[in-house]
Amino acid sequence: MATNLANSEYPPITADESERPAFAQLEAALQSGSDRTAPSTPTLVGPHGEPIALPKSVAAVLRQAVATLAHDQAVSVLPMTTSVTPQEAADLLNVAPAYLLTLLDEGAISSHGVGADRRIPLTSLLSYKRQRDQAREQTLDHLAARNQELGLY
């Protein structure tokens, strides 16, 4: 899944100084549709003045891009497949391929066969990663609190 940006057909995009004043307004407009209870949906205005509601996925990409550009960082939108190979999944999780296969065999991450190969749905992989990261964060918080109680921190 790694992409060589030097050879990419999707070069990084940066914002110049003249664009920066619009970021706060864009962030506010895009944020209005990110809350599930929010009544409004971010909308574009078409060439003839017609409103075009942004799908949630497009609004999410724009929110991330605007926030990144507002912090003077580059953005690159890269297409990804909806399923990955076990090696790509191991790379994304930063684990050994053998350990990833154990996770697949135990059913911790769903996978399906493609001929003699396995494929892992990206949504399943990212869900596992999110849960794993949350569990790590909770464990670290618990350890930090315990260290404070013991006067070690």
* Per-residue pLDDT tens digits for 97-126: 999 999 999 999 999 987 778 999 999 999
Handedness of CA 88, 93, 99, 100 (dihedral sign): negative
The DSSP element (H or E) to which 112 belongs, if any, is strand 112-114
pLDDT at 48: 94
Domain boundaries, the chain: 10-70, 83-149
Cα–Cα distances in angstroms (integers) from residue 43 to residues 17, 64, 69, 75, in the given order: 25, 17, 20, 22
pLDDT confidence tier of residue 36, bands split at 50, 70 and 90:
low
Across 85-108, b (16+ Cβ under 10 Å) vs e yields: bbebbbebbeeeeeebeebbeeee
Predicted TM-score (pTM) of the model is: 0.55
pLDDT at position 39 is 53
- What pLDDT, on a 0 to 100 scale, did the predictor assign at position 152? 82
The pLDDT tens digits for 63-79 are: 999 999 999 999 988 77
